[in-house]
Amino acid sequence: MRLRNIPGADEAILNSEYCIKEPESKKGNWQSVFSSTQPLHIEIGMGKGRFIMDMAAAHPDINYLGIERYSSVLLRALQKMEETPMPNLRFICMDAADVTEVFAKDEVSRIYLNFSDPWPKDRHAKRRLTSRQFFARYDAILKPDGRLEFKTDNQDLFTFSLEEIPEAGWHLDASTRDLHHDSVLNEGNIMTEYEEKFSSKGNPICKLIASR
Protein backbone atom coordinates (compact mmCIF):
# COMPACT_ATOMS: atom_id res chain seq x y z
CA MET A 1 0.00 0.00 0.00
CA ARG A 2 1.37 3.37 -1.01
CA LEU A 3 1.94 6.00 1.66
CA ARG A 4 0.04 9.23 1.39
CA ASN A 5 1.82 12.14 -0.23
CA ILE A 6 4.02 13.98 2.26
CA PRO A 7 4.53 17.69 1.57
CA GLY A 8 8.20 18.53 1.18
CA ALA A 9 9.29 14.96 0.40
CA ASP A 10 10.57 15.80 -3.08
CA GLU A 11 12.54 18.76 -1.79
CA ALA A 12 14.04 16.73 1.05
CA ILE A 13 15.19 14.06 -1.39
CA LEU A 14 16.63 16.67 -3.72
CA ASN A 15 18.65 18.18 -0.88
CA SER A 16 19.80 14.95 0.74
CA GLU A 17 23.42 13.91 0.36
CA TYR A 18 22.31 10.28 0.71
CA CYS A 19 20.05 10.27 -2.35
CA ILE A 20 21.77 10.22 -5.74
CA LYS A 21 20.45 12.77 -8.18
CA GLU A 22 20.67 12.07 -11.94
CA PRO A 23 21.63 8.41 -11.37
CA GLU A 24 22.08 7.89 -15.12
CA SER A 25 25.29 9.91 -14.85
CA LYS A 26 26.75 7.24 -12.53
CA LYS A 27 26.21 4.37 -14.96
CA GLY A 28 29.38 2.28 -15.05
CA ASN A 29 30.94 4.32 -12.26
CA TRP A 30 28.87 3.60 -9.16
CA GLN A 31 31.92 2.77 -7.08
CA SER A 32 32.83 6.47 -7.14
CA VAL A 33 29.78 7.15 -4.97
CA PHE A 34 31.19 5.15 -2.07
CA SER A 35 34.32 5.52 0.05
CA SER A 36 35.49 1.96 -0.72
CA THR A 37 35.44 -0.19 -3.86
CA GLN A 38 33.31 -3.20 -2.89
CA PRO A 39 30.66 -5.50 -4.40
CA LEU A 40 27.45 -3.63 -5.23
CA HIS A 41 24.08 -4.97 -4.07
CA ILE A 42 20.79 -3.25 -4.89
CA GLU A 43 17.27 -3.53 -3.50
CA ILE A 44 14.50 -2.63 -5.92
CA GLY A 45 11.40 -1.36 -4.15
CA MET A 46 13.08 -0.78 -0.78
CA GLY A 47 10.08 0.82 0.93
CA LYS A 48 11.02 2.59 4.14
CA GLY A 49 14.47 1.03 4.10
CA ARG A 50 14.61 -1.28 7.10
CA PHE A 51 15.96 -4.28 5.16
CA ILE A 52 18.70 -2.53 3.22
CA MET A 53 19.79 -0.42 6.20
CA ASP A 54 20.11 -3.53 8.35
CA MET A 55 22.01 -5.26 5.53
CA ALA A 56 24.41 -2.34 5.16
CA ALA A 57 25.04 -2.31 8.90
CA ALA A 58 25.63 -6.08 8.99
CA HIS A 59 27.90 -6.12 5.90
CA PRO A 60 30.22 -3.08 5.82
CA ASP A 61 32.30 -4.84 3.15
CA ILE A 62 29.46 -4.46 0.62
CA ASN A 63 28.08 -1.30 -1.00
CA TYR A 64 24.30 -0.99 -1.13
CA LEU A 65 21.89 1.05 -3.23
CA GLY A 66 18.22 1.22 -2.29
CA ILE A 67 15.80 2.03 -5.11
CA GLU A 68 12.33 3.39 -4.36
CA ARG A 69 9.88 4.99 -6.77
CA TYR A 70 7.81 7.00 -4.30
CA SER A 71 9.38 10.02 -2.63
CA SER A 72 7.03 9.92 0.36
CA VAL A 73 8.20 6.36 1.10
CA LEU A 74 11.87 7.07 0.48
CA LEU A 75 11.70 10.04 2.83
CA ARG A 76 11.31 7.68 5.79
CA ALA A 77 14.58 5.95 4.93
CA LEU A 78 16.38 9.26 4.50
CA GLN A 79 15.22 10.36 7.95
CA LYS A 80 16.65 7.16 9.44
CA MET A 81 19.88 7.66 7.51
CA GLU A 82 20.26 11.17 8.91
CA GLU A 83 20.21 9.66 12.39
CA THR A 84 22.64 6.83 11.59
CA PRO A 85 24.72 7.56 8.46
CA MET A 86 26.41 4.63 6.75
CA PRO A 87 29.21 5.09 4.21
CA ASN A 88 28.23 1.96 2.26
CA LEU A 89 24.59 2.89 1.63
CA ARG A 90 22.92 5.32 -0.75
CA PHE A 91 19.44 5.73 -2.22
CA ILE A 92 17.87 6.41 -5.62
CA CYS A 93 14.35 7.69 -6.31
CA MET A 94 13.44 6.14 -9.67
CA ASP A 95 11.24 3.66 -11.50
CA ALA A 96 12.52 0.07 -11.52
CA ALA A 97 11.90 -0.17 -15.27
CA ASP A 98 14.84 2.19 -15.83
CA VAL A 99 17.56 0.06 -14.20
CA THR A 100 19.36 -0.55 -17.50
CA GLU A 101 19.67 3.21 -17.94
CA VAL A 102 21.34 3.51 -14.54
CA PHE A 103 23.59 0.44 -14.25
CA ALA A 104 26.14 -0.87 -16.72
CA LYS A 105 26.71 -4.47 -17.78
CA ASP A 106 28.08 -6.63 -14.93
CA GLU A 107 27.97 -3.71 -12.48
CA VAL A 108 25.68 -5.30 -9.88
CA SER A 109 26.56 -8.39 -7.80
CA ARG A 110 23.17 -9.04 -6.21
CA ILE A 111 19.57 -7.90 -6.57
CA TYR A 112 17.00 -8.02 -3.76
CA LEU A 113 13.24 -7.89 -4.37
CA ASN A 114 11.16 -7.80 -1.20
CA PHE A 115 7.35 -7.87 -1.06
CA SER A 116 6.98 -6.35 -4.49
CA ASP A 117 3.64 -5.10 -5.82
CA PRO A 118 1.84 -8.27 -7.08
CA TRP A 119 -0.01 -6.49 -9.90
CA PRO A 120 -2.76 -9.14 -9.64
CA LYS A 121 -4.50 -8.48 -12.96
CA ASP A 122 -3.22 -10.67 -15.81
CA ARG A 123 -2.89 -7.73 -18.18
CA HIS A 124 -0.37 -6.17 -15.79
CA ALA A 125 1.87 -9.26 -15.54
CA LYS A 126 4.78 -7.59 -17.32
CA ARG A 127 4.88 -4.94 -14.59
CA ARG A 128 5.68 -7.51 -11.91
CA LEU A 129 9.32 -7.27 -10.84
CA THR A 130 9.71 -11.03 -11.36
CA SER A 131 8.29 -11.05 -14.90
CA ARG A 132 10.45 -12.25 -17.77
CA GLN A 133 10.58 -8.65 -18.98
CA PHE A 134 12.25 -7.59 -15.75
CA PHE A 135 14.52 -10.63 -15.68
CA ALA A 136 15.82 -9.44 -19.06
CA ARG A 137 16.67 -6.08 -17.47
CA TYR A 138 18.42 -7.77 -14.56
CA ASP A 139 20.39 -9.92 -16.99
CA ALA A 140 21.80 -6.74 -18.52
CA ILE A 141 23.24 -5.40 -15.25
CA LEU A 142 24.05 -8.43 -13.10
CA LYS A 143 27.51 -9.99 -12.97
CA PRO A 144 27.78 -13.48 -14.51
CA ASP A 145 27.97 -15.08 -11.06
CA GLY A 146 25.44 -12.68 -9.53
CA ARG A 147 22.10 -13.71 -8.13
CA LEU A 148 18.62 -12.45 -7.40
CA GLU A 149 16.78 -12.99 -4.10
CA PHE A 150 13.02 -12.53 -3.84
CA LYS A 151 10.70 -12.64 -0.81
CA THR A 152 6.91 -12.31 -0.69
CA ASP A 153 3.88 -13.48 1.26
CA ASN A 154 1.77 -13.55 -1.92
CA GLN A 155 1.43 -17.20 -2.97
CA ASP A 156 0.10 -16.40 -6.44
CA LEU A 157 2.97 -14.01 -7.16
CA PHE A 158 5.45 -16.59 -5.91
CA THR A 159 4.01 -19.27 -8.20
CA PHE A 160 4.15 -16.82 -11.12
CA SER A 161 7.78 -16.01 -10.28
CA LEU A 162 8.78 -19.68 -10.17
CA GLU A 163 7.23 -20.16 -13.61
CA GLU A 164 8.90 -17.08 -15.09
CA ILE A 165 12.44 -18.05 -14.08
CA PRO A 166 12.95 -20.83 -16.69
CA GLU A 167 10.99 -18.85 -19.28
CA ALA A 168 13.49 -16.02 -18.79
CA GLY A 169 16.41 -18.41 -19.23
CA TRP A 170 17.38 -18.26 -15.56
CA HIS A 171 18.01 -21.05 -13.05
CA LEU A 172 16.21 -21.60 -9.75
CA ASP A 173 18.91 -22.16 -7.12
CA ALA A 174 16.64 -22.52 -4.08
CA SER A 175 13.07 -21.84 -2.97
CA THR A 176 10.73 -22.26 -0.02
CA ARG A 177 7.13 -21.39 0.75
CA ASP A 178 7.82 -21.19 4.49
CA LEU A 179 11.05 -19.28 4.96
CA HIS A 180 10.93 -18.92 8.73
CA HIS A 181 10.74 -22.69 9.15
CA ASP A 182 13.46 -23.43 6.59
CA SER A 183 16.68 -23.86 8.56
CA VAL A 184 18.88 -23.37 5.50
CA LEU A 185 17.34 -20.38 3.72
CA ASN A 186 16.37 -18.63 6.94
CA GLU A 187 19.93 -18.59 8.27
CA GLY A 188 21.03 -14.97 8.58
CA ASN A 189 17.67 -13.74 7.28
CA ILE A 190 17.04 -10.03 7.77
CA MET A 191 13.37 -9.11 7.84
CA THR A 192 11.61 -6.21 6.15
CA GLU A 193 8.82 -4.19 7.74
CA TYR A 194 6.24 -6.13 5.73
CA GLU A 195 7.84 -9.48 6.54
CA GLU A 196 7.60 -8.85 10.26
CA LYS A 197 4.01 -7.64 9.93
CA PHE A 198 2.78 -10.51 7.77
CA SER A 199 4.63 -13.27 9.61
CA SER A 200 3.26 -12.02 12.94
CA LYS A 201 -0.21 -12.68 11.51
CA GLY A 202 0.77 -16.24 10.66
CA ASN A 203 1.34 -15.67 6.95
CA PRO A 204 4.13 -17.94 5.63
CA ILE A 205 6.91 -16.09 3.83
CA CYS A 206 8.12 -17.35 0.45
CA LYS A 207 11.68 -16.93 -0.81
CA LEU A 208 13.58 -17.88 -3.95
CA ILE A 209 17.11 -17.44 -5.17
CA ALA A 210 17.81 -17.37 -8.91
CA SER A 211 20.87 -17.01 -11.13
CA ARG A 212 21.80 -17.37 -14.79
User: Which residues define the annotated binding site for S-adenosyl-L-methionine?
Assistant: 43, 68, 95, 117
Q: How distant, in Å, are the alpha carbons of 20, 41, 195, 212 from that of 1? A: 25, 25, 14, 32
Sign of dihedral through CA atoms 193, 195, 55, 104?
negative
CB 157 within 8 A of CB 121: no
Catalytic residue from among 10, 98, 117, 182: 117
Helix (H, G, I), strand (E, B) or coil at 54: helix
Give the residue among 64, 27, 58 at the shortest CA–CA distance from 46.
64
d(CA 45, CA 111): 11
- Asked about 117 being catalytic, the answer comes back as yes
Containing 51, the helix (H) or strand (E) segment is helix 50-58
Strands 40-44 and 63-68: parallel
Could you give the C-alpha distances from 62 to 23, 107, 116, 170, 178, in angstroms and in order? 19, 13, 23, 24, 28
| 3-state class (DSSP) for residue 94 | coil
Binding positions for substrate: 121, 153, 192-195
Query: What's the CA gap between 78 and 19, in Å, rounded?
Result: 8
- Known binding-site residues equal 43, 68, 95, 117, 121, 153, 192-195
The residues carrying an active-site annotation are 117
